[in-house]
Amino acid sequence: MESQFYWVEMGDVPQWLLETPTRASGESFDEPWMFADGRALPDPGSIKAQISHPGRGRAFVFSVIEKAPIVSEEVANVFRSLSPDDVQLFPVSIEGIAEPYFVVNATKVVDAIDEARCREVHHHDESDPFPEYAGEYRWIYGLRIDPSKTGGAHVFRLKKFKTAFIVSEEIRSALEQVGNLGVSFERVTGPNELARA
């Protein structure tokens, strides 16, 4: 039986919204999207995230703009124990919150998109406002990946579609055991059931 993988996205549940992490001084990073870029990063030093909209604190959320994964210590321990070679965990202080939180930086990018099995794909092209993205995916509906091309990784981003934060079945199950998540899991392996009218 093939391995199962899931796209982790912001969940449709009541939750707080967090700003993109910055330096502890409040200064933005030169590349504020770096925590969603799928590469190992040098230690960013002390970082913080402000609450942009109060709500229920969750153990796993994404920052509102650059979609940096921000997690509680219990969730960080899931990544530490099950995928230590796939992620970096950077402590982040959240304004007004005493408990420790971490930014989860997936350090691997895999070329595993199975375009033929995706429901609908949209590419960037040269006429886009950002020509540097030409050839990459603007968006994918019904995303499907080939698990045989994941190289044993449990957490990764996808080549040409780094928006997607992908985790294995093992990680998903462990995260659900923690609970209080502000995220949902969309399966990206196996048959692609078309939406019924």
Query: What pTM value is reported for the model?
Result: 0.92
Structural domain for 58, as ranges: 5-112+141-187
Question: So what's the pLDDT on residue 196?
Answer: 36
Alpha helices in 83-159 (DSSP H): none
In a domain, 133, yes or no: no
- How far apart, in whole angstroms, are the C-alpha atoms of residue 48 and residue 50? 7
For residue 122, the Cα-to-chain-centroid distance in whole angstroms is 20
- Amino acid 22 reads T
Count of domains observed in the chain: 1
In a domain, 146, yes or no: yes
Q: Is the per-residue pLDDT at 128 higher than 80?
A: no
In a domain, 132, yes or no: no
Residue 135 pLDDT level (bands cut at 50, 70, 90): confident
Question: So what's the pLDDT on residue 111?
Answer: 96
In a domain, 124, yes or no: no
Averaged pLDDT of the chain: 92
Residue 134 pLDDT level (bands cut at 50, 70, 90): low
- How far apart, in whole angstroms, are the C-alpha atoms of residue 31 and residue 22? 10
Greatest CA separation for the chain? 51
Question: So what's the pLDDT on residue 197?
Answer: 32
In a domain, 17, yes or no: yes
